[in-house]
């Protein structure tokens, strides 16, 4: 029997029962194939994560590239509230880079890691257990010389020899680590095994009771949330997770799922978080639009069908009493809130005020661009809702960087007896406008081929999804595209009342990301371990 809260019911909360939410959307999440966020996009997500109330933002892996370093540094300087964390391997260069990136944060953290499973030590690191111990001691001590907030992770912890891993953790504690994260890196363990591992670690390393112990679970077997729950029930008080569950391979534990699990079953679990759950849906939509990763309709908590009822019996029950079939209130996670905020005659100041009320700070050229898009949409829609504005501004935030391709204009010519012909204008890296023209099997095929011709990039379409932002025939269309260039994929999204325009915007952005990754040789996807 579900222990739902009755209206007005309160639960006594103790600080030692608080579960910290460590968000890794911008680090592990961005390592998802096809995702490549620019500095402005990462900043916008980080600001939203702060509004959501996460405890820690793992902003990136600063040593990987100048762009990632600059993004982490910008987040550290501009985002207030959460701890801002940078990831580092055990090499001195990694730790120095991480510190330089996060040092300007009010609450900086360095997160260093090295593998402790034998398969990783022998095959990947090609070293010995003793050498790993030495690297941990040096790395944590070096990180600790910069900040009191140091997190250490024994990578592939769930497949490590517990006795040996306990020895490594003890070294990290001796050198001053304040958070110990034991990850299920490859999503292999089961809840009972994961809980038993922590029980044993607490026995072998009594000092773990004096620091924060963390879980980081991957979803390869669909057990990321179950394993995360097993860890917190075993005594861990930090969960590492990502919005919409994005991340390497099958992804990470989903932030919205673990948060709402702890909230909905708080009377039974006695655990709680500091998350403002009304910001969950908006955070999910923002991450989806900026990464180009659509949310599946049946996704728990934030999927389009998460609170929908099709069966007549269910509908009848919900109409009589919502709790007969809904264990959560949709408004608790920020769904079903789509008030009309502007009309076609609204001016620039009204737009800015509406955006500020929604948490967007837009001014100058960015406001001008947003206002232009708003007027275009308002001419096609009778009323512009909060979700319309959110989608519009998020679309503009993608900004088409100087180095990226940008859609300037397009037109479709068609005759009943001939295939459609698309003509496009695309801005390329040097700022020049290139023209492209092509026919195709259909309108979308023609416009994608024309974009390839304009950019000179031989890209292939791999995925295409279209959805409506709101209801009605005049709804904004949201298109998600995955393109492939030289074996590397890139994801992009576009928003418009014209689905063809949205598709063209999405394809140009996906092509830009895929091409950049191909030129980098796929280095954005993963990094080698430092030599032992």
Domain boundaries, the chain: 15-291, 307-337, 342-397, 406-519
Place of tokens 């403002």: 276
d(CA 208, CA 507): 49
What would the CATH number be for the domain defined by 406-519?
Answer: 3.30.160.270
How many residues are there in the chain?
Answer: 532
Three-state SS sequence of 147-159: CCCEEEEEECHHH
Give the residue among 243, 334, 253, 340 at the shortest CA–CA distance from 290.
243
CB atoms under 10 Å from CB of 12, counted, come to: 6
Domains 15-291 and 406-519 share a fold: no
User: What is residue 90's DSSP assignment?
Assistant: S
Could you list the pLDDT tens digit for every one of the 532 residues in the chain? 344 555 455 667 899 999 999 999 999 998 888 788 889 889 999 999 999 999 999 999 999 999 999 999 999 999 999 999 999 999 999 999 999 999 999 999 999 999 999 999 999 999 999 999 999 999 999 999 999 999 999 999 999 999 999 999 999 999 999 999 999 999 999 999 999 999 999 999 999 999 999 999 999 999 999 999 999 999 999 999 999 999 999 999 999 999 999 999 999 999 999 999 999 999 999 999 888 888 988 999 998 887 765 555 544 554 566 667 677 788 888 875 555 567 777 888 888 888 887 777 777 877 888 888 888 777 777 677 777 887 777 777 665 543 568 889 999 987 667 888 999 999 988 889 999 999 998 999 999 999 999 999 999 999 998 988 877 777 788 898 999 998 888 888 888 888 999 999 999 989 988 888 787 765 443 454 544 3
Superfamily, domain 15-291? Aldolase class I (3.20.20.70)
d(CA 211, CA 224): 23
User: What is residue 383's DSSP assignment?
Assistant: E
Q: Which H or E run contains 179? A: strand 179-184
CB atoms under 10 Å from CB of 371, counted, come to: 19
Place of tokens 């398969």: 119
Angstrom distances, CA of residue 423 to CA of 41, 111, 165, 213, 446: 29, 49, 60, 57, 9
> What are the structure tokens assigned to 195, written together?
């809980």
């Amino acid at each position: 029997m579900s222990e739902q809260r009755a209206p007005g019911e309160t639960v006594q909360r103790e600080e030692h029962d608080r579960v910290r939410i460590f968000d890794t959307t911008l680090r592990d999440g961005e390592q998802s194939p096809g995702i490549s966020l620019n500095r402005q996009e990462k900043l916008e997500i980080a600001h939203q994560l702060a509004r959501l109330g996460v405890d820690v933002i793992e902003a990136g892996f600063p040593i990987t590239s100048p762009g990632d370093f600059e993004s982490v540094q910008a987040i550290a300087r501009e985002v207030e509230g959460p701890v801002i964390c940078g990831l580092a391997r055990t090499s001195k260069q990694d730790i120095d880079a991480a510190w330089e990136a996060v040092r300007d944060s009010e609450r900086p953290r360095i997160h260093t890691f090295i593998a402790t499973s034998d398969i990783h030590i022998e095959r990947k690191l090609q070293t010995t257990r003793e050498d790993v111990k030495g690297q941990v001691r040096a790395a944590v001590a070096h990180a600790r010389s910069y900040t009191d907030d140091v997190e250490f992770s024994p990578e592939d912890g769930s497949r490590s020899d517990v006795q040996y891993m306990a020895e490594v953790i003890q070294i990290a504690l001796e050198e001053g680590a304040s958070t110990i994260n034991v990850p299920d890196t490859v999503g292999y363990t089961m809840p009972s095994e994961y809980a038993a591992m922590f029980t044993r670690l607490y026995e072998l390393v009594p000092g773990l009771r004096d620091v924060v112990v963390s879980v980081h679970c991957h979803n390869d077997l669909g057990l990321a949330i179950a394993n995360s729950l097993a860890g917190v029930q075993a005594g861990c008080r930090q969960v590492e997770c990502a919005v919409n569950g994005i991340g390497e391979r099958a992804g990470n534990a989903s932030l919205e799922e673990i948060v709402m699990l702890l909230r909905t079953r708080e009377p039974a679990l006695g655990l709680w978080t500091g998350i403002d759950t009304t910001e969950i849906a908006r955070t999910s939509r923002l991450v989806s639009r900026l990464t180009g990763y659509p949310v599946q309709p049946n996704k728990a908590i934030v999927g389009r069908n998460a609170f929908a009822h099709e069966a007549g019996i269910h509908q009848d029950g919900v109409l009589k009493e919502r709790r007969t079939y809904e264990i959560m209130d949709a408004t608790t996670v920020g769904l079903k809130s789509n008030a009309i905020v502007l009309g076609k005659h609204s001016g620039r100041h009204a737009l800015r005020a509406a955006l500020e009320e929604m948490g967007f700070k837009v001014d100058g050229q960015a406001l001008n661009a947003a206002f232009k898009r708003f007027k275009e949409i308002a001419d096609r829609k009778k009323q512009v809702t909060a979700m319309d504005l959110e989608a519009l501004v998020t679309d503009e935030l993608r900004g088409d960087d100087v180095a990226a391709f940008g859609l300037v204009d397009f037109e479709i010519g068609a005759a009943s007896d001939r295939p459609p012909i698309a003509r496009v204008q695309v801005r390329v890296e040097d700022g020049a406008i290139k023209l492209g023209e092509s026919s195709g099997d259909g309108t979308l095929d023609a416009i994608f081929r024309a974009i390839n011709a304009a950019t000179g990039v031989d890209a292939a379409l791999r995925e295409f999804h279209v959805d409506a932002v709101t209801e009605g025939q005049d709804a904004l269309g949201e298109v998600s595209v995955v393109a492939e260039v030289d074996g590397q994929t890139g994801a992009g999204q576009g928003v418009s009342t014209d689905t063809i325009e949205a598709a063209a915007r999405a394809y140009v952005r996906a092509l830009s990301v895929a091409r950049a990754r191909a030129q980098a040789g796929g280095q954005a996807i993963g990094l080698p371990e430092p030599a032992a």
